[in-house]
Amino acid sequence: MINNFPLKKLVLVAGLCLPVFTYAQEAPKTKPNWQNLDLKTDSVFGISTEKAYNELLKGKKHVTVLVAVIDGGIDVEHEDLKKVIWNNPKETAANKKDDDKNGYADDVHGWDFIGSAKGDVHYDNLELTRLVRINNTRFANVDSTKLTGKDLADFKAYSAMKADMDKQVAKAQQTYTVINKFNTLLDGVLAKLGNQNPSLDDITKFEPKDNGEAYVKRVLVSALPSFKNVAEFREKEVNGGLTHFKEQLDYHLNLNFNSRDTVGDNYNNANERFYGNNDVTGPDADHGTHVAGIIGAIRDNNLGVMGVANDVAIMSVRTVPTGDERDKDVANAIRYAAANGAKVINMSFGKSYSYNKKAVDDAVKFALNKDVLLVHAAGNDNNNTEVELNVPNRIYEDKSGVAGAWIEVGASGPKDDETLKASFSNYGKTSVDVFAPGVAINSTTPKSAYAEHDGTSMAAPVVTGLAALIRSYYPKLTAVQVKEIIMKSVVKISHNVEIKDGETKKEVPFTDLCVTGGVVNAYNALQLAATY
């Protein structure tokens, strides 16, 4: 699942039934392109990309590296991406023929596994919802006291999932209600001010008549330093929250909603490969376009932003809806990317449940046999993924081992202090490999626009861009070697960092958060690559 709404800023206050909005690490004021800057020179904890270009790469030969972005779609016409979008050399555009005989007609820039001639899937359930729906039918009229063995185990698992879903539905309903209540109070305050977009001075001078108005005033005074004005705060936080939780209730957690008819495949056949369409942008390409820009936005065109890698072709494999991606589609997306020449695959998505992990694992094995490096975002729930499941992951379900050329990425912030771990980022001493910049990252968004987003979804493409950069300048290196180089060349963190455990904050060694105990560094990695 991909999600740009900053839920960590919304916390319910017991008794008041009002949301608390907090603005700290999630909206720092950072330097442009900070993820590519150098800690010593620029005083932000970037990965020293610019230093590497200036001191190590000038005049060096490089080759184009094909990078697949498995995501919600990419705006292939974006001004800062158009020249780096992959053009399938064996396919003739718009002739409705499969010229290269790969099973996908007109796949000029990639493929869409969640669409068909009927259109494209925009919304889908959580995997949890789909599993509960399947098992509702299985256990509808069953006397659980008579179950034994696997049936009993399956029933207990189903009961736990049903309880989890009921809890999420209740939380979404409650949160939607309280944000709506805040919205109504905000309407009242703005009406009294006679201005839908008042200044901070107007708000400061406002004299509230009751507790609700006083609360709105406190929130606005606290929020405005993080936003351009009240209108932006309202659009992003209040309207964004209402939209997010309504989507949860209408689609993600709605047992009666099922979008799969739009695709038209035989969903129960995990071996089915050839379905979908060639619309690699889809109805909402914000997330995938942002990811693509971090990896390879054109560096020398005096437009927008600069990607990490300077010589890539970006393949869009549309697989992730607003909701949870499906294992069958993820498996086919990995296979498509690997079969069509991708050398690095970015996967900025994840979920807490899996329907058919074996299908994904088999596709990962296929990709590894093609010498592909897979880069995956660790997730944004501030969870320890050694305890809480986040899939896909590198551990094969059949216990046959782990994926070697797989890098799991957590998100770091710009300051070399206790806030270095992004507050939202998942972590894991053995389940996450490295950290990379993922807070307030400015990148490309649809219609040739630009925006800042937070997330391990942003940290993963920083690492993907680095992997592509290494493979571009040192093309003889294998995927496993590139992973080894990235992990060996991190900047080790010697100080403690802050993590939040429930409502309690504590400081832990960075070595407790990931395998390497460090943040990736392009300069160090390229120096090391030169020795291989």
Asked whether the predicted pLDDT for residue 504 surpasses 90, the reply is no
Cα–Cα distances in Å, from 311 out to 91, 177, 345?
22, 48, 15
Q: So what's the pLDDT on residue 141?
A: 87
DSSP string over 325-337: --HHHHHHHHHHH
Q: So what's the pLDDT on residue 58?
A: 95
Cα–Cα distances in Å, from 369 out to 186, 332, 344, 372?
57, 15, 13, 7
Which residue in 65, 35, 67 sits closest to 49, CA to CA? 35
Q: Is 495 a catalytic residue?
A: no
Q: Is the dihedral of CA 364, 526, 490, 416 positive or negative?
A: negative
Q: Looking at per-residue confidence, does 76 or 200 come out higher?
A: 76
Which helix (H) or strand (E) is 244 found in, with range? helix 240-247
Q: What is the mean pLDDT of the chain?
A: 93
Q: Is 71 a catalytic residue?
A: yes
For the stretch 5-39, pLDDT in tens is 444 344 333 333 444 444 433 445 688 999 999 99
Q: Looking at per-residue confidence, does 223 or 4 come out higher?
A: 223
Q: So what's the pLDDT on residue 16?
A: 36
Mean pLDDT of 216-236: 89
The single-letter DSSP state of residue 260 is G
**What is the distance between the alpha carbons of residues 55 and 351, in angstroms, rounded to a whole number?**
40
Q: So what's the pLDDT on residue 82?
A: 98
Q: So what's the pLDDT on residue 28?
A: 54
With cut-offs at 50, 70 and 90, classify the pLDDT of residue 501: confident
Amino acid at 477: L
Report whether 510 contacts 416 (CB < 8 A).
no
For the stretch 252-264, pLDDT in tens is 999 999 999 999 9
The single-letter DSSP state of residue 512 is G
Q: Exactly one of 38, 71, 75, 279 is catalytic; name it.
A: 71
For the stretch 309-353, pLDDT in tens is 999 999 999 999 999 999 999 999 999 999 999 999 999 999 999
**What is the distance between the alpha carbons of residues 351 and 169, in angstroms, rounded to a whole number?**
17
**What is the distance between the alpha carbons of residues 433 and 404, in angstroms, rounded to a whole number?**
12
Q: Residue 460 corresponds to which tokens in the numbers above?
A: 């993963």
Q: Is 199 a catalytic residue?
A: no
Parallel, antiparallel or unpaired: strands 65-71 and 504-509: unpaired
**What is the distance between the alpha carbons of residues 296 and 530, in angstroms, rounded to a whole number?**
22
With cut-offs at 50, 70 and 90, classify the pLDDT of residue 153: very high
- Measured between its terminal Cα atoms, the distance across the chain in Å is 37
Which residue in 74, 32, 30 sits closest to 290, CA to CA? 74
Q: Exactly one of 354, 412, 457, 472 is catalytic; name it.
A: 457
Q: Exactly one of 78, 287, 376, 453 is catalytic; name it.
A: 287
Asked whether the predicted pLDDT for residue 487 surpasses 60, the reply is yes
